[in-house]
């Protein structure tokens, strides 16, 4: 496994591989790999001739009061995991290499980026779509892999690829969870033990809503209300949003039908967590 830092070097390597007719799987990450990343890497290794893992904590997608400087960066450990899983290249550019002096281009997906995470984290998706465009340009993926945990991000990236007519298949793979249901996230390490317990209630609340839908509840307001009430039983938990939305457009739904996403974003102490479940409503 090779670690590549300069973007130009990554471009020449990936172009050469493409010319040799190899398929390239790309797993974009900010490092601090967990089981969720592992499942993306494993899928890529299975489905492609070569896998490139990108590790880059992207300053453009963090707001001024967010956790950019304290975001975990266990690069050596990430390299060990990647090697063990069969990754061929890690592309880990330095920020000055990816955004050199004079860099001034942004890439933006409009409507799909507006609500939910877009409202709570202004500029976040612009940062994500800009860096993902650059990472794709450098790595030339045949397939790219994202987790359903960041559902809005995955849809925004699918839209980006479709609109730009890039020949990349974007796969969204299921959320990997801890034994108590908490979605795996690099930010879970911030949680103190009592907060960690409270964080598990996110999944319990989502599952309860899912059960109620299966039992016949179709009123979105009733369901959001019950999720909110369950979450608020936890002293350290503050709700950012709870929403039932159309799974394609992310527009709110009032009466459930078709494929629906239940979205939750909360603060547990100072840590912001998101999760979701998808449900097909007959
Ligand atoms: O999901 C992430 O880890 C990041 O948002 C991504 C897609 C790697 C872009 O920086």
Q: Atom 5 (ligand 1): residue with closest C-alpha?
A: 128
Nearest Cα to 159, choosing from 170, 149, 174? 170
Domain boundaries, the chain: 2-173, 186-276
The residue to mutate among 113, 153, 156, having the most atoms of ligand 1 within 8 angstroms of its beta carbon, is 153
**Closest-lying ligand 1 atom to the alpha carbon of residue 147:** 1
Under the banding of pLDDT at 50, 70 and 90, the label for residue 195 is: very high
Q: 239 near 232, Cβ under 8 Å?
A: yes
Question: Would you identify the CATH topology of the domain 2-173?
Answer: Rossmann fold (3.40.50)
Under the banding of pLDDT at 50, 70 and 90, the label for residue 190 is: very high
What is d(CA 15, CA 28) in angstroms, rounded to the nearest whole number? 18
Q: What is the mean pLDDT of residues 110-130?
A: 98
- Ligand 1 and 243: CB distance under 6 A: no
User: For position 114, what pLDDT does the model report?
Assistant: 97
Phi, psi of 281 (to 5 degrees): -100, 120
Give pLDDT tens digits for 135-180.
999 999 999 999 999 999 999 999 999 999 999 999 999 999 999 9
Under the banding of pLDDT at 50, 70 and 90, the label for residue 43 is: very high
Q: Atom 8 (ligand 1): residue with closest C-alpha?
A: 29
- Ligand 1 and 129: CB distance under 6 A: no
**Closest-lying ligand 1 atom to the alpha carbon of residue 58:** 10
Question: Would you identify the CATH topology of the domain 186-276?
Answer: 3.30.1300
Return the biggest CA–CA distance within the chain: 57
Q: 51 near 45, Cβ under 8 Å?
A: yes
User: For position 247, what pLDDT does the model report?
Assistant: 98
């Amino acid at each position: 496994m090779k670690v590549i830092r300069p973007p130009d070097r990554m471009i020449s390597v990936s172009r050469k591989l493409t010319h040799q007719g190899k398929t390239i799987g790309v797993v974009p990450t900010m490092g601090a790999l967990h089981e969720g990343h592992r499942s993306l890497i494993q899928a890529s290794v299975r489905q492609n001739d070569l896998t490139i893992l990108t590790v880059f904590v992207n300053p453009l997608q963090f707001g001024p009061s967010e956790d950019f400087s304290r975001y975990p960066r266990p690069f050596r450990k990430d390299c060990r995991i990647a090697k063990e899983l069969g990754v061929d290249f890690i592309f880990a550019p330095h920020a000055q290499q990816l955004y050199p002096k004079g860099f001034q281009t942004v890439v933006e997906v409009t409507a799909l980026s507006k609500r939910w995470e877009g409202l709570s984290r202004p500029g976040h998706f612009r940062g994500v779509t800009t860096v993902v465009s650059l990472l794709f340009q450098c790595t030339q993926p045949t397939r790219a892999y994202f987790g359903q945990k960041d559902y809005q991000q995955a849809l925004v990236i699918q839209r980006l690829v479709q609109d730009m007519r890039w020949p990349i298949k974007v796969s969204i793979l299921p959320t990997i969870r801890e034994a108590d249901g908490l979605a795996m996230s690099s930010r879970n390490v911030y949680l103190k033990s009592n907060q960690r317990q409270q964080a598990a209630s996110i999944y319990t609340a989502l599952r309860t809503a899912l059960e109620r839908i299966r039992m016949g509840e179709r009123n979105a307001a009733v369901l959001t209300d019950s999720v909110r009430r369950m979450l608020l039983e936890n002293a350290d938990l503050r709700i950012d949003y709870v929403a039932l939305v159309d799974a394609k457009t992310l527009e709110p739904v009032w009466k459930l039908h078709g494929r629906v996403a239940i979205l939750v974003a909360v603060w547990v102490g100072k840590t912001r967590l998101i999760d979701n479940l998808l449900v097909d409503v007959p």
